[in-house]
Chains A and B, each alone.
Chain A
Amino acid sequence: MQRIGVFVCWCGSNIAGTVDVHAVAEALKTESGVVFSTDYQYMCSQAGQDIIKNAIHEHSLTGIVVCSCSPRMHEATFRKTAAAAGLNPYMVEIANIREQCSWIHKDMLSGTEKAIILGKAAVAKVNLNAPLTPGQSTVTKRALVIGGGIAGIQTALDIADAGFPVDIVEKKPTIGGKMAQLDKTFPTLDCAACILTPKMVDAAQNENIRIYSYSEVTEVGGYVGNFDVTIKRKARYVKEDICTGCGLCTEKCPQKKVPNEFNLGMDNRRAIYIPFAQAVPKVATIDADYCTMLKTGKCGVCAKVCTAGAIDYNAKDEFVKEKYGAIVVATGYNPISMEKFDEFAYSQSKDVITSLEFERLTNAAGPTSGKLLRPSDGEHPHKIVFVQCVGSRCENCAEKGKEYCSKICCMYTAKHAMLIRDKYPDTDVYVFYIDVRTPGKAFDEFYRRAVEEYGVHYIKGMVGKVVPEGKKLLVQASDLINGKQLHIDADLVVLAAAIEPDKSARPLATMLTASMDTNDFFTEAHPKLRPVESPTAGVFLSGCCQGPKDIPETVSQASAAASKVIGLLVKDHLTGNPCIAQSNELMCNGCSSCERVCPYGAITYEEKEFRMPDRTTKLRRVASVNPAVCQGCGACTVACPSGAMDLNGFKNNQIMAEVDAICKM
């Protein structure tokens, strides 16, 4: 049996004005379990808190009900008061008689009546309260960043800067991501490589950062503060620590016909390669799909020319197991496939290209050394058509496009158009748009410059079809402003392809039990207030894996994610919320209903031995809740068919007691 003390606050006249506080204190005296009841002007004041502390000692109280303002206001205060007097803080309940009673009712009679009922409900609940202790877990002071693009690099640099070790796992042979492939960046036209490569070098040289390139995460276990991650280091057949990156092997390799993915297949590389000059780590990688030695066992040229002796044809995939306190997802994006957009003749003509291909075509390190030449015949194009929203904002073609706006295309198309007009003023540039969306600092000015200073023809309308004819591409499009159908004989057509999350994101989300939306973007814990955290504790989001973003936004989010990680890693222990789900193993039938509704993956199953009434033992499958992961929403408690699952602090019988107190006839 509890010994409960009731403390009714006047809150000056805020409560006492419309609630007869003496009557409330008096009425609650007779409630079951109540041994002490009083009222005071300001319970939250030092004097008020002293009244509570003294009462706890004098009357040996085991539970407290404070009838005062909202628990969102002073629950923490009164819990601390109780703890200071040696009472478990979770034995305190608040009856909200200010925001939800005195402030909304004008009539003293009904206000008092309601306050008494709210008090009774709180007393009924405290009668069933049990002391709760928050669980504690340790924190592994090392972070994992998955993805080595600008988002991952920035996050890693910021975490490392705060003094915590951090590992970057990148599936490609080099970090740098998409930004390394870009030529210039809007809206200032800085060269992408000039601002990115110093950061890549910083990451490589930072002693707190370890880069696992050409690696993938294959398994994630554990929970916030204590993740167990398995990383697969794919065999690159070159010893990373010995290779000097001299590049001699990449010149001597006889296998010359490998499509160069860094230039999006617009030129070829060797079977042993370094993706680009500023690659980090600058070591060669053998492409096992093309290497003659690995396929037939006859060649070995690279091993012969390598003076460092770094080539190892017998290398195998290795698996590294590591513990992390926090994980940052920075898996980035890819342009969608244009193969299905037949109307633009992407598969029929080499001169219909995507914007990312265009970036390589204008890049000084690209296949044409920065000269704008048609991929088909190497001639200079004089009429270029840009098509925006290809696959973006596409509602009824889920198998082709994406429903969302890809956000970056308006700006990079303006950039492309501007760069062409700047370098080749004799070139006509047409941009077909549905809307030009430029919400960003100095973005609209940038777009207007393309139109006003550089004379780019912006035409509101869409391209209906592109037909390759001879050396030309016949573009049929609508001009909605002038009510005309246009026919343009273009030399080059550039498609602003929608962007989608990287394919590796979905399996990763499953491993992390992080939630995703229908487009495979990771969902954030709160769309406005917690935009860089995943709802799964300890998992953070950085860059385009969470939604389409440009570089400034990606970098801001990357640093924000880093600060959240640092905030987690500086803690020695994590104090959990004790109001979490708990399964009664004797009642659990192992049906997995709770596991399926848990948004955090906090519930696992274990086989346990139980003693049966006939003294035999039986192995049963029962649910167990990980206290470090459970956030206490209670979805599982309702899903549980046997009633085994309950939520501490909001137990079934506690809520039921509140219902009874309110409905008492």
Chain B
Amino acid sequence: MNNTELKKEILRISGVNVKKCMKCGKCSASCPAYDEMEFHPHQFASMIDNGEIEPLLRSDSLYRCLSCFACMERCPRGVEPAKLIEAVRLTAIRKQGANRMTADDVPQMLDDNTPGQLLVSAFRKYTK
């Protein structure tokens, strides 16, 4: 799939209208995982709008998102960046063999600092 098709697919999966974004950055201001992410919630909205999907698909940010939905809750325009991130992630894992790690790798990643939310969200994102 090329970028145009990917954009269409992501917008279809997420059901988000990225054109509503007024680029205020409140999503990224609310994001608790901001420093962990290479691309931030507001960048997801604008990059998807610009059709720059490939860099997003390759990015680790997809797996850093906590799915806490703070960005969705705070967005004044109802853009729902979390749904966009989720849609990009789905697009990535729908490509064969694109799971980032196996289930067996997970226990080694855990330490005391890992928030419980991350664990729940990580398993939710896991597919066989």
Contact = CB atoms under 8 A, between A and B. Distances in A.
Interface of A: 343, 389, 393-397, 401, 434, 460-465, 476-478, 480, 483, 485
14 contacts: A393-B76, A396-B75, A396-B77, A396-B78, A434-B24, A461-B24, A461-B29, A462-B24, A464-B27, A464-B30, A464-B70, A480-B25, A483-B40, A485-B40
A255 B88 CA distance: 63
Interface of B: 20, 22-31, 34-35, 40, 42, 70, 74-78
Given A462-B26, A464-B74, A485-B34, 12 more contacts: A389-B24, A393-B77, A394-B76, A395-B20, A396-B77, A401-B76, A434-B23, A461-B29, A462-B25, A462-B29, A464-B29, A478-B42
A396 B42 CA distance: 17
A38 B40 CA distance: 80
Given A464-B30, A478-B42, A485-B34, A396 B25 contact: no
A460 B24 CA distance: 8
A336 to B, nearest CB: 13
A462 to B, nearest CB: 4
B10 to A, nearest CB: 20
Contacts of A477: 29
Nearest to B30: A464
Contacts of B20: 395-396
A397 B80 CA distance: 12
B30 to A, nearest CB: 3
B77 A480 contact: no
B24 A476 contact: no
B42 A480 contact: yes
Contacts of B70: 464
Contacts of A462: 24-26, 29
A394 B26 CA distance: 12
Contacts of A480: 23, 25, 28, 42
Contact of B78 (A395, A434, A476): A395
A447 to B, nearest CB: 18
B76 A478 contact: no
B106 to A, nearest CB: 27
Nearest to A432: B29
A483 B38 CA distance: 10
Contacts of A397: 76, 78
Contact of B25 (A343, A460, A465): A460
Contacts of B23: 434, 480
Contact of B76 (A395, A460, A465, A483): A395
A343 B76 contact: no
A204 B108 CA distance: 80
Contacts of A464: 26-31, 70, 74
B47 to A, nearest CB: 13
Contacts of A483: 40
A390 to B, nearest CB: 9
B76 to A, nearest CB: 4
Given A343-B30, A464-B29, A480-B25, A485 B35 contact: yes
Contacts of A389: 24, 76
Nearest to B35: A485
A439 to B, nearest CB: 18
Contacts of B24: 389, 393, 434, 461-462
A501 to B, nearest CB: 20
A520 B99 CA distance: 52
Contacts of A396: 20, 75-78
